[in-house]
Amino acid sequence: MSALSGVIVADFSRVLAGPLAAMTLGDLGARVIKVEPPTGDETRSWLPPVDGEGRSTYFQTANRNKRSIALDLKDEGDRKLAFELAMRADVLIENFRPRTMARFGLDWETVHAAHPTLVYCSITGFGEGAGAAMPGYDPLIQALSGMMSVTGPADGEASKVGVALVDVIAGLNAATGILAALHDRKTLREGQRVEVNLLSTALAALANQSSAFLNTGDSPGRLGNVHPSIEPFSTYATATGPIMICAGNDRQFEQLAVTIGAPGLAADPRFGSNLDRVENRAELRTELEERLGLDSVEYWAEALNDAGVPAGPVNDIGGGFGLADTLGLEPVTEINGIRTTSSPIRLSASPTETRLPPPELDEQGDEIRSWLSGPREEEL
């Protein structure tokens, strides 16, 4: 049996953060009903790229293990169906702008009064206070939070991360909060509201960079691939391309020095401790790349890993999947001809499952409408 068997999720969200949270619950066994407007989730039209059937690969990112029903929340009849769905759900997820759900009678206060055990999750860009009217798009959050200011080359332009990272982390935060609320419901005998906003998510995701600012008052800057606190911990040039080396302690640095044929580097007072290496990183880079340039990235990756020094080439995404496949991690799940990234969660007793492919718009609409019109004790 799946971990969340019997849990019903009403997914009113769209684009990425909310749908990812709902899909995570679906992977864990919940029955997820995706409520879409008649025009569909916006990401259905975000293309290219498309798969062999012309479908948006973006939509497929976050919508497996779901059933789709199209409802026009401006229509009274459809609003009644949406409310009935909320009454039957264990979890409701929405990421509209604040107060939008209130216009449809689906806000937390209204739904909680009628269904006290429901776990209600709201994902916003900037919370529901002074920033309620601000639109929360991932690149904007990356810019406003300071994430872009620490991303990119030291002498270049600030850059966003190459994926909607804040949305992804917000979705995981939402799923975590929902699971905690479901667990707490056993004791409280009541649901609660889970709130996640993208700006707070980004600030928390900045981790050591946020901590550096909070405890020194100085905002970190861009360092490219260099780590602000560890050296060597970056990409370095070899004869055939860059290699990432992460020597996180003195022992690993000593093994690095021996492996590249320069054991004396570990005894050099400029590089004796991590602090020394950070303060003299330019000189250390020159020493390392002089020797790394004598052979290929493939040679050094193998040699350094054999010596216990974390290192590897800078793969493209295909190379990343290839590595995971080689290691037996089963990174790809295929269902009905659609290939998706496998859930990274592994449970020994109640494993995740891919039961349903990303649905077509309103694909299960008739089935869901019939269920919502019948007795509440009936199972979908």
CA-CA distance, 163 to 184, in Å (whole number)? 33
Task: Judge whether 183 counts as a catalytic residue.
Answer: no
127: how many CB neighbours lie within 10 A of its CB? 18
Sequential DSSP letters for 276-334: HHHHTHHHHHHHHHHHHTTS-HHHHHHHHHHTT--EEE---HHHHHHHHHHTT---EEE
DSSP state at residue 24: H
Residue 118: both structure tokens together: 């429901």
| Beta bridge mates, 186 | none
DSSP state at residue 43: G
Task: Answer whether 175's CB lies under 8 Å from 24's CB.
Answer: yes
C-alpha closest to that of 181 among 168, 173, 191: 191
Backbone angles phi, psi at 213, to 5 degrees: -65, -45
Burial class for 265, CB neighbours closer than 10 Å (0-12, 13-18, 19+): buried
CA-CA distance, 26 to 356, in Å (whole number)? 9
Residue with tokens 């006290």: 116
Positions annotated as catalytic residues are 227
